[in-house]
Amino acid sequence: MRNKIIFIGGIHGVGKTSLCEELSNRTGAHYFSASKLIKRLNKDYCDNKNKAVKDVDGNQELLLTAINQYIDKNLTTLLDGHFCLLSSKYEVTRISKKTFYDISPIAIIVLYDSISSISSKIANRDGVKYDVNLLSSFQNEEINYSKNIADRLKIPYLLFDVSHDKSEIVDFIANLINMEIQ
C-alpha cells in the first residue's frame, strides 16, 4: 500500500516551500519539508546556504526514518524535496531510486522556473551566486530523473511551471485527494 504522500520536487530556489504552504492551505493536505524532517533527527544537519550535501545517502536514510516517525500515513501529505542534490564537489547527484520506492508516493509533482528567476531567488535568499549552467543542468536532471521515477512507480506525474496559474496544480492535488477518499 502506498503512503498518501505527494512528493513535490524541484531544485533549490524554485519555490517549493512557498508553493507547498499555499497548496496545503488550499487543499487541506498536510505539508512537510524533507530538509526539516532530516534536521529533526540530525541536529548537525545544516541546510547550508551553498546547498552542497556531504552525505546524500545518509541524509536519505534519515529522511525515511523521519517519514516513519512524523508523517501520518492515513493523511494526504505534501512532501517537498529533491530528486537530485549537489554533492560536496558541486556535482549534480541523483538520489537513490530506493529512496523513492521506500517513500512510495501516490504522485510526483516537479516544479520548474526560468534559470534567471531561480538564480535571482537564491542570490536574494542565500546571498549565493551559482553558475547558470550548473543550475540549468541541475534543473534538467531533476526533471528527467523525476519523470523516470514516476514511470517506474507507475504513478501520476505533473511538471509544473511556477510562473503559471496555480489552478492546474490545485486541481491535480484535489483529484488525488478525491481518489484516495474513494
Q: Which residues contact 140 (CB under 8 A, 6 or more apart)?
A: none
The rounded distance, in Å, linking the Cα atoms of 40 and 128 is 25
Q: What is the pTM of this model?
A: 0.91
Output the domain CATH number for residue 38: 3.40.50.300
Domain that residue 13 falls in: 5-181
Structure letter (DSSP) for residue 160: E
* 34-55 per-position pLDDT tens digit: 989 988 887 655 455 556 566 6
User: How confident is the model over 83-118, as pLDDT tens digits?
Assistant: 998 887 888 999 999 999 999 999 999 999 999 999
**Sign, Cα dihedral of 60, 65, 68, 71:** negative
C-alpha cell at 97: 531510486
Q: Is 154 left (phi over 0), alpha (psi -120 to 50) or beta?
A: left
Please give the tally of structural domains in the chain. 1
